Structure 1
Amino acid sequence: MLITDGSDLEGVTRVQDIKYMRYLRIVLRPIGAWPGHEIGEPIGHWKKYGILMIANTCMLLLGEVLYVKNSFNRLSFADMVNDYITVFMTIICVARSMTIYKKQYSEIFKGFITDVHLFNGRKQSAYAMKTHLSIHKYSHFFTFYMICLLLFGDMFFSIVPIIMNIRAGGFKASPPKNLTYELSVNYALPFDYHHNFNGYIVVSIFNFCETLLAADYFCIIDSYMGLLMFHLWGHLKIIVHDLDYFPRPRNDSVAFCGRYTDEELLQVREKLKSIAQHHNRVLKYIKDVQETFGPAIALSYGFYQVTLCILLFGSSQQGLQGFIRYAPMTVALLSLLIQMSLTFELVGSMRDQLINSVYGMPWECMDVSNRKSVLIILQLVQRPLGLKAVGMVEVGCNTMMTILKTSISYFAMLRTMAVD
């Protein structure tokens, strides 16, 4: 199920009918992130559902912030690590729900399904088909991996407090009188759910549903952005191949000095035009993705910067209990940070290959007009391909390493302060 040989593409005529795209649609719909009306599917209540999800995340954030405010002078920092983390996670969910509601999000979605997805251009050449099959395998594995991460992440996040409550005797017929029930997320509510079993059950069920939606915002939106990067990477690989195997003059006789004939020059002009248009399409789509997802990605990087050091601190302060509670969340968030940075790095890393491929073209065999076209393409491929969140933060491995180093430094500082 995680690995495919491409046989699942037999009989498929539309992008949205590919297996991993069908599963992506299933997990994107609960948070209103599948605007199917853009590709001819019934519109349903997509817009209303989008507003409902924004309102839902904002109400959750309000309840969590009020709980932190009420407990600030009553509990220590170590005791409130989980509450701080859930507040930051909900802020990310609010930002992503607003991103999904943007018109630009729907336009990017439509462009991905109808143009960018390599399934649409698989018949253009043998290499295009080969690249499509290769990216299909990556995309299939990546989508199922992210869905598994969603399910396991939500399970660990929800089940750890339940195990702790069972060990403390919270599910006995006569629980200890001084017992305080632990929950995955705490809110400021008008009834007591920390010492009342019925209230605890109600909030636990509510938390399970909400944390599943939160995991959807984190894992599946990242999965969707990863798929965009995989297919853009595939387009760039096709452009590099077209440049590397640019047709040379057929007539290599001394009389022609290895130059193109007049008929070949017309074909060269069309080939150069096609490559330039293909590259411009990729650049435009990257720019659209940057403008739409840039603020949410920048906020996510800030989130990872803050939460990773807090999670490391929480894991080290509460012994085995803290390690069991926070280690799985730390690993999950760390894997999300790494995969997001690596997938965006794939696109940015293609710039040097494009430049080298243009330099290697047989421009010396062309006339002046086509040489000018080669020069224009050379100027095009020197533009940065990497994304910059809000025009400042580079999305890639360098930023990821900076976040990891800074998080470890802040963790050491917090631990030293706690010891002192």
Structure 2
Amino acid sequence: MTPSQPRHGNRSFREFLDSEASGGIILMGAAVLALIVANSPLGQSYVHILHAYIGPLSLQHWINDALMAVFFLMVGLEIKREMTDGQLSTWPRRILPGVAAVGGMAVPALIYVALNIHDPSALRGWAIPSATDIAFALGVLSLLGPRVPASLKVFLAALAIIDDLGAVVVIAIFYTSDLSVIDLLGAAIVFGALLMMNRKGVRSLVPYAILGAVLWILVYRSGVHATLAGVLLALTIPIVRTPGKPEATPAESPLHALEHMLHKPVAFIVVPIFGFANAGVSFAGVDASVLLAPLTLGVAAGLFFGKLIGVFGAVVVLVKTGIVDLPAQASWRQVLGVSILCGIGFTMSLFIGLLAFDDPGVQDRVKIGILLGSFVSGIIGYMILRSAKREPRRVTP
């Protein structure tokens, strides 16, 4: 058997889990508040304020293009740290969450495509149900307390981090249009300068922040979605370890320092603001025809059934073939529950949906599908995990 479980002594990772779980609960509140406001007498004001211009961009664009760049910076930092210095730093640790993440991205997309195959315009949204919202999912897990073993929380977090990496690649390749070669060239030069600073051992975060702002402007002007500048910047932030010490600390590593600095603002401010600004959808006029529309069903079914089949199916195959073990002290019922929780696709799914479609009516159907699929996944996943018993030791099927 190849060990599939990482060590659990990483303090920064525990802090990450704690902040994401708490942030997920706040995100739930922000989403509910947005739905209440959008379906109240304040609904028109809500839409008007979001579309009001502040300088060159509307408030919603400032949130989705600029503020979310900070979220993607955080995503990039997490990916780099986990791949270099954390829970995904070796191939044995990557196998279970990695294969599960691939299955959890591919199957939802296939379900969406199957339900929308006769509508070429709707096919642009194929990636919407492929994403897992780590904050929301960990928020649900946190409600269960010690009923869920720490190994499953680590598995879910690692899977979601790899899922985020896949989403970043998908956005970069499939949701980019009208490219400006000059701005792309400028962005490449700035990115090269950032890499050079990394190689020269520059540890101060100030020059990275200045060039990062320039990079964001150039990427925004280039036609590539501006939030990807956050990921590119994250890849250039130095990660430093003291010889003889197994893990870096914020005091010595710029990457760890920046990640520590951003954790709470992203979890408690950036993501909830995005959720509030984008989850609000009016249910006026929504009937069975909207709920049963192929696009809405494709998103909802992709999230619930796609994640269930893709994630749980991958775990079953890997464990039954003897490649890995189940997460420590986890039962099959608990793995099933966590697989269903992966169908909570709120933040990244909303983001991809906004990139895929410009029509507000279509965006509303996407939002309804996301809310429906995420709600069902959250409730059923929670109920299964609440009824499951924790295993005293690792088990095999």
- What TM-score results when the alignment is normalised by the length of structure 2? 0.27
Greater gyration radius: 1
**Greater relative CO, 1 or 2 (CA 8 Å, sep 6+):** 2
